[in-house]
Amino acid sequence: MGAGGGVNNGGTVIISNGTLGNNTGGGVRNSTGSATIQNSIVAYSSGGNCFGTMTSNGYNLSSDATCNFTSAGDLNSTDPMLGPLHYNGGPTQTMALLSGSPAVDAGNPNGCTDGLGHLLKTDQRGKPRPDPEDTGGCDMGAYERQSD
């Protein structure tokens, strides 16, 4: 695996409600530090999604088995059904959760939080999190799919 196309960690990193997809050289590489991931998606990375030890705080999805997530709500070797990196509203590009994605409403049922445990009310685009019409909770990753 390469140097970690998404995250190359040698210190301490906490990834909360993130989407790392289609990275060349791997998704998350943890060489000598500590990598904690929660409510996030790591997918479609050449060389594998994860390298090194990952600590899962739950509700993560990996499209391959390299992350070895084993906490509550984790999904390994599961296609998250992500759209391409695109402007889906908001100031930055995101990867939308497509219809039927297993990440929809599969986030922590107690709410999506940041690395300090603060409840997040919006996704990366500034859209409500969870979607006001959802009863299942927030979505995994940086993008909250909104009801039509």
Task: Note whether residue 11 is domain-resident.
Answer: yes
Whether the predicted pLDDT of 3 surpasses 60: no
Dihedrals phi, psi of 97, to nearest 5 degrees = -85, 120
- DSSP-assigned letters across all residues of 57-99: -S--EESSSSS---STT-B-S----EEEEE--SSSS-EEEEPT
Instruction: Say which residue, 68 or 131, is predicted with more confidence.
Output: 68
Asked if residue 55 has pLDDT above 90, the reply is: yes
Please indicate, yes or no, if residue 147 is contained in any of the structural domains.
no
The answer to whether residue 7 scores a pLDDT higher than 90 is no
Give the residue with greater pLDDT, 26 vs 70: 70
Higher pLDDT, 1 or 73: 73
Q: Is the pLDDT of residue 1 over 60?
A: no
Q: Hey, what's the torsion of the CAs at 104, 108, 112, 118, to 10 degrees?
A: 180
Q: Label residue 4 by pLDDT band (50, 70, 90).
A: low
146: in domain: no
In a domain, 148, yes or no: no
pLDDT average, residue stretch 83-100: 96
Residue with tokens 């695109």: 86
Task: Note whether residue 7 is domain-resident.
Answer: yes
Q: Does some domain include residue 107?
A: yes
Buried b (16+ CB within 10 A) or exposed e, 118-148: eebeebbbebebbbeebeebbbbbbbbbbee
Does 41 reside within a domain? yes
Q: How many residues in total does the chain contain?
A: 148
78 domain residue, yes or no = yes
Q: What total of structural domains would you count in the chain?
A: 1
Q: For residue range 95-143, what is the model confidence (pLDDT) as tens digits?
A: 999 999 999 999 999 889 988 889 999 999 999 998 887 777 899 999 9
Mean pLDDT in the chain?
Answer: 91
Residue (of 2, 39, 17) closest to 125 by Cα position = 17
Domain span holding position 73: 1-141
Per the DSSP assignment, residues forming a β-bridge with 8 are 29
**pLDDT value, residue 2:** 47
Give the list of residues 6+ apart from residue 74 with CB closer than 8 angstroms, or none: 56, 58, 59, 60, 61
Q: How confident is the model at residue 63 (pLDDT cuts 50, 70, 90)?
A: very high
